[in-house]
Structure 1
Amino acid sequence: MLGRTASSLFWLSRYVERSEDMARLVDVGYRISLLPGVGNGGHREDWKSTLVSAGCEGGFFDLYDEMNEKNVVNYMLFDENNPSSVRSCLRTARDNARSVRTAITREMWESLNTTWIEFSDIKPHHMTRNKLPTLLDWIKERSMLFRGAMLGSILRNDTFHFSQLGAFVERADNTSRILDVKYHLLLPQTEMIGGGMDNYQWSTILRSVSAHRNYRWIYKDNRPKPWNVAEFLILRREMPRSLIHCYSWLTQSTSGIEQLYGERTPSIDITEQTYKTLREGDMTTIFADGLHEFLQNFIACNNELTMSLASDYNFA
């Protein structure tokens, strides 16, 4: 496979996944902003954490003077100056799909092309607060539709493996950033731990990664505990957006490429080493060494994997 084809497949899946992740982050900010008694300062702080989780804080303040719900939602969903906005992600994903049109299936192309056309018809100034949840659900559903089309129609060859690499690198990055930023936002509020607002915020964070019901199933806990939330999103294989689940898939995909090409590359070693760290990890050690430090190191390793893949397979 040509390097530019592998690159397009990788970034196609990565940007589709990112569009869903942006919608999930906005949904968290929106839900928490509905809490009574938080106050304007609290609302601003949580919208700021939403921007930080998305890695968009610097770009936002280059364009906007005031941080409020309207500006944050517009920047994360519609602003073409934000390369990670949903609009930018869908446009870039579609451009990548068009460049590899013969390598993907009709179902994949049609699901993505239709999503782009329908999203392009949405007028940001028509987006009222009561319409926002419906739009966010639609974005998530369209991402899942694309993923379903891919899993249900594509050959299990290098096209499949590079697509999987893009999706799970992005998903791992998103989960680690949400946990790092939100955990440190909420944990210091010791006087609130166990209270109704605290429980609602932790539950909302779990919902942002489609984990609320699954968390209750595993832990039999109606009041999410910070320790358990961290363990669930890092080390529980059953959780499809956990770090270890993502790297389980990444290991399979890099191994699949190795078997197809008959060559072991540095990116395979990076993937397997990160997966080993997660397999052998336990929360007692992670907290003793520092959760923030662990997550920052993970994010760095995940970024290193992207750069190594680009080098190993000549991404254009």
Structure 2
Amino acid sequence: MLSRTAANLYWTGRYVERADATARLLDMGARMTMLPGSATRQDWLSVLKAAGVPLTESEEVGRREAVRILLLDEEGGSSVRSALTLARSNARAERTALTRQAWEALNDEWRALEKVPEAEASSSLPDYLEWAQKRAAAFRGSVETTMLRDDRYDFIKLGGALERAAMALRLLEVKYFALLPERDVVGGGRDFHQWNSLLFAASALRAYHHVYRGDVTAWNVADLLVLNRSFPRSVALCITEAADTLGRLALRYNQRTEAQNRAERLHARLADTDMDEVFADGLHEFVQETLKSVLDIHSATSLVYGF
């Protein structure tokens, strides 16, 4: 496969997942701002920080500003709109590498956010977030059910797995930033509702109660999103998928790569970690270190396959 084709398919997978992840960040922010004291906590600032938007501590960010930046922005790949546009652009360049169903999942209604006024997007935010998540789900479903299990499939899956792992970590970062100025509320009622908001945003509430069968606690939420290998959005499962995919590519091209080595090292580290260690060393520090490892896998993949 040409490096250009591999890159386009990889970034198609990443951008689709990024649109979904950004929609989930917005969903979490919207839920958190419904709690008492939101105006003084700057929850929207927490969401934008976790999304990597460069802002200063003194900036005040409201719902409409967050919606403009993370839903409607035209460029950069950080908003839902720009991520879906870039996913479609990359897929269009490799139209013959995709099945009709996979292409149509990206092409149908792709201009839906193009002329949406900021005020309307803010007032109808749940509808637009649901639309974005359905578009991502339609693409993932079509890839799973219609594409051959060859290198085209593998590069799409690899991009999606790495972006999904990063998303789970960024959701945890929102929680950290939201409580950073007010440590006294950790474990309180607001803390409880914020962890619930995180589970809703990750589509993990039912899975959480099925696995842990008890009250929502920081310990168990972090375990589900990071270490639980039965939850499809957990970091551990996403890295397992990435390592397996890189392994298949290495066999296909008869070349073990540094990207595969890094993915396997992170996989092993997560397998040898438990929540006791994570919270003893600091959840924020663990999230930052793991997110860097995920980005390192991406960098190594880009170098190895000439993106």
TM-score interval, smaller chain: over 0.9
Shift of 1:280: 1.1
1:114 matched to 2:111: no
Residues 307 and 289 of structure 1, relative CA distance in 2, 3 Å threshold: same
Separation in structure 2 between the aligned mates of residue 237 and residue 256 of structure 1, nearest angstrom: 20
1:186 matched to 2:179: yes
- The SS at the match of 1:21 is helix
Separation in structure 2 between the aligned mates of residue 233 and residue 125 of structure 1, nearest angstrom: 32
Separation in structure 2 between the aligned mates of residue 186 and residue 67 of structure 1, nearest angstrom: 17
- Contact (CA 8 Å) 2:179, 2:185: kept in 1 or not? no
Identical aligned residues as a percent: 38
Residues 184 and 130 of structure 1, relative CA distance in 2, 3 Å threshold: closer
1:174 matched to 2:167: yes
1:46 matched to 2:46: no
2:53 maps to which of 47, 51, 56: 56
- What are the within-5 Å matches in structure 2 for residues 231-310 of structure 1? 231-310=223-302
CA offsets 1:192-240 (integer angstroms, 9 cap, x no match): 445443222110111111111111111112x311111111111111111
Show the counterpart of 2:124: 131
Residues 127 and 231 of structure 1, relative CA distance in 2, 3 Å threshold: same
- Contact (CA 8 Å) 1:60, 1:75: kept in 2 or not? no
- Contact (CA 8 Å) 1:74, 1:124: kept in 2 or not? no
Separation in structure 2 between the aligned mates of residue 75 and residue 172 of structure 1, nearest angstrom: 22
- The number of residues matched between the two structures is 307
Coordinate RMSD, CA, aligned: 2.0
Residues 266 and 129 of structure 1, relative CA distance in 2, 3 Å threshold: closer
1:83 matched to 2:80: no
2:94 maps to which of 84, 91, 100: 100
Separation in structure 2 between the aligned mates of residue 282 and residue 106 of structure 1, nearest angstrom: 43
Letter in 2 for 1:118: A
- Contact (CA 8 Å) 2:63, 2:122: kept in 1 or not? no
Shift of 1:188: 7.2
Residues 93 and 60 of structure 1, relative CA distance in 2, 3 Å threshold: farther
Shift of 1:288: 2.1
Letter in 1 for 2:40: G
- Contact (CA 8 Å) 2:22, 2:51: kept in 1 or not? yes
Letter in 2 for 1:299: L
Shift of 1:31: 1.4
Separation in structure 1 between the aligned mates of residue 136 and residue 63 of structure 2, nearest angstrom: 24
Shift of 1:59: 9.8
Show the counterpart of 1:70: 64
Shift of 1:253: 0.5
Shift of 1:66: 4.6
Q: What are the ranges of 5 or more consecutive residues in structure 2 without an aligned counterpart?
A: none
CA offsets 1:166-190 (integer angstroms, 9 cap, x no match): 0011011111122134135337756
Shift of 1:136: 0.7
Separation in structure 1 between the aligned mates of residue 195 and residue 274 of structure 2, nearest angstrom: 21
Moved more, 12-21 or 224-233: 224-233
